[in-house]
Amino acid sequence: MKKMWVGNLSADASEDSVTELFSQFGKVRSIKLAKDVFTGKCRGFAFIEMEGHEARAAIAELNGKVLNGGRPIKVRFEDSTRKRSHRRR
């Protein structure tokens, strides 16, 4: 099982629409769409889990693809060693 990070999603993206997009490459085992607490709209990124070979196929095909005239989406394996930046308050 591989976890992917998907970025540059539109605010109108839903779990169903993202699942449908990735399902053409295999079974989506789980999806976590980041949503704004107040509006409920997509914050522009999600985490998706798929089998390894299916995830590689999805990354190869979808990374850089423009959806609905928006920005090109970014798809890559989640990097658990990457340090998260913390904003100062």
The reply to whether 86 falls in a domain is: no
Q: What are φ and ψ of residue 38, in 5° steps?
A: -85, -40
Range of the domain at 62: 2-77
In a domain, 7, yes or no: yes
| pTM of the entire predicted model | 0.85
The CATH number for 11's domain is 3.30.70.330
Residue 67: inside a domain:
yes
Of the candidates 64, 20, 51, 13, the residue with the CA atom closest to the CA atom of residue 34:
13
Per residue in 8-67, pLDDT (tens digit) is 999 999 999 999 999 999 999 999 999 999 999 999 999 999 999 999 999 999 999 998
50 domain-assigned = yes
Q: Does a structural domain hold residue 9?
A: yes
Instruction: Give 80 or 9, the one with higher predicted confidence.
Output: 9
Please report the pLDDT score of residue 44 as a whole number. Answer: 95
**Residue 43: inside a domain, yes or no?**
yes
SS3 33: strand
Q: How many domains are there within the chain?
A: 1
The Cα 19–Cα 5 span in angstroms is 13
